[in-house]
């Protein structure tokens, strides 16, 4: 059962990173960080059709990065932070790994420099 849960989490993380890999989708998220907006409002700054922007929004929605609310014929979108927090947690783990590795390298280089000066 846990393996199934881990696989689902991995797939979700794949979707998040895929969604974030596109400049337009990152721009849409930046706009949504300021608050809820209609699809038309979100599409306004982009030089693409409304259906093209909608496709980007679907990718963000499937990745769990946004929520959609429908009021009549108007679709409103807002950020959904949990998926982004999960990706941030994943990156924080590897950030600490690389920080430790780079700190070890810096110590080794400093020790090597000190030994070179003694000779």
Could you please report the per-residue DSSP string of 23-59? HHHHHHHHHHTT--EEHHHHHTTSSS-HHHHHHHHHH
Q: How confident is the model at residue 91 (pLDDT cuts 50, 70, 90)?
A: confident
pLDDT higher at 117 or 119 = 117
Whole-number pLDDT of residue 64: 94
pLDDT higher at 65 or 100 = 65
Least trusted range by pLDDT, from 32-41, 44-53, 80-89:
80-89
The CATH number of the structural domain formed by 2-118 is: 1.10.10.10
Segments making up each domain of the chain, as ranges: 2-118
Q: How confident is the model at residue 85 (pLDDT cuts 50, 70, 90)?
A: confident
70 forms beta bridges with 75
Whole-prediction pTM: 0.74
Half-sphere exposure of 73 (CA within 13 A, CB side): 1
Could you please report the per-residue DSSP string of 57-88? HHHHHHTTSEEEEEETTEEEEEE-HHHHHHHH
pLDDT at 82 over 70: yes
Q: How confident is the model at residue 58 (pLDDT cuts 50, 70, 90)?
A: very high
The DSSP call for residue 34 is: T
Half-sphere exposure of 101 (CA within 13 A, CB side): 6
Q: Which of 87, 67, 85 minimizes the C-alpha distance to 77? A: 67
């Amino acid at each position: 059962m846990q393996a199934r849960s881990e696989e689902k989490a991995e797939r979700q993380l794949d979707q998040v990173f895929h969604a974030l890999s596109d400049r337009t989708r990152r721009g849409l998220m930046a706009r949504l960080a300021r608050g809820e907006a209609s699809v038309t409002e979100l599409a306004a700054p982009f030089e693409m059709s409304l259906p093209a922007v909608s496709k980007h929004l679907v990718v963000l929605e499937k990745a769990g990065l946004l929520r959609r609310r429908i009021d009549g014929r108007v679709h409103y979108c807002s950020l959904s932070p949990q998926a982004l927090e999960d990706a941030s947690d994943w990156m924080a783990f590897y950030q600490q790994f690389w920080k430790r590795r780079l700190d070890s390298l810096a110590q080794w280089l400093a020790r090597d420099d000190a030994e070179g000066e003694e000779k």
